[in-house]
Amino acid sequence: MRWLDRPLLATIAFAVVLTASLGALQAMTPQSTCTGLVVASSLEKASLMQQVAQDFNAKSALTAGCVRVSVEPVASGAAEAGLRAAWPSAYGDRPDVWSPAASAWLELSKEHRSTQGLAPLADTINPSLFQSPLVVALPEPMARALGWPGRSLGWSDIYQLAEDPQGWARYGHPEWGRFRLGKTNPNISTSGLHALVGTYLAATGGKTSDLATQDLQDPKVVEFVKGVESSVVHYGDTAFTFLTNLRAADQRGKSLSYVSAIAVEEKEVWNYNRGNVTGDPALGPTSLPPHVLLAAVYPKEGTLFADHPYAVLNAPWVTDA
């Protein structure tokens, strides 16, 4: 089953990449002499990476030339901004490795540094720890009202529903009110960035490599994007915030009135439906599954994948171990 394999594959991939990057470790030595390695990780996988790093550190401490890995959780967009500013002290220890949720942040970092006449801090092609597509997560009753799972759904359906003054009454459920969308900040969150790109992808009829500025300025495209954005009632920094609040609403029996859809990574839907909103593999389900499960809808217009790259930085503070 694809759902069950992903967390395991992520653990294996991270362990393999990390071990390979540090090299073979041999003889015994005290842990206090270990070389430190700081990894800045995107929020949704930080717990997983911390667990793998903890296991690695326990073994590495018994070897000569050992490396002690620490994983610092930081939102991808915030990390990109921090690296642009030489990682101010408020951000914590400067990272040797950056693992944002998607390679798009490496591209943005490269572009921002290019405008300053600076070389990239990292390669844009790096090992991928795992991949998770952006999905539109709807409470299952709402998804079924739209025809899921038999009907393909996408941003165009969200646009039509968002623009319809009848709201959910159009599908026989006036008690659900207007369509309510939850989105994260595209300047900080990968799901927010990918949702914005996905909306434009749908609005332009699926254009990708041949997309031009005039396409984005087309009045029909602008109207489509505005229509989708007009349905946003919850706009925050991270998907974790939305899912935590949704879980609280679910416990009060109010999940269907809290939000109609949230753009998140596929894995986050899996975590939520298991009762583990944090996604921390060490915890397992923290409680019973929610009363109302989420359905993961893969936009019919296409979607973007969070590829979770593992990028060794070429920053001035990074030295050879």
Flag residues of the chain having pLDDT under 50. 1-13, 22-31
**CATH code of the domain containing 126:** 3.40.190
Assigned domain for 319 exists: no
Largest CA distance in the chain: 71
DSSP 67-116: EEEEEEE--HHHHHHHHHTT--GGG-SPPSEEE-SSTHHHHHHHHHHHHT
Q: What is the predicted pLDDT for the residue at 142?
A: 98
Q: Do 124 and 137 belong to one domain?
A: no
**Residue 138 and residue 98 share a domain:** no
126 and 181 housed in the same domain: no
At 80-128, the pLDDT tens digits run 999 999 999 999 999 999 999 999 999 999 999 999 888 999 887 899 9
Residues with Cβ within 8 Å of 72's Cβ and at least 6 positions away in sequence, in order, are 38, 39, 40, 41, 46, 92, 93, 95
- Say what the pLDDT of residue 282 is: 62
Q: Does residue 264 share a domain with residue 228?
A: yes
| Same domain as 255, residue 149 | yes
Domain hosting residue 160, numbered range: 132-306
Number of Cβ atoms within 10 Å of the Cβ of 301: 18
In a domain, 321, yes or no: no
- Our count of domains for the chain comes to 2
Q: Is residue 48 part of a domain?
A: yes
Q: Is residue 281 part of a domain?
A: yes
The pLDDT value given to residue 116: 87
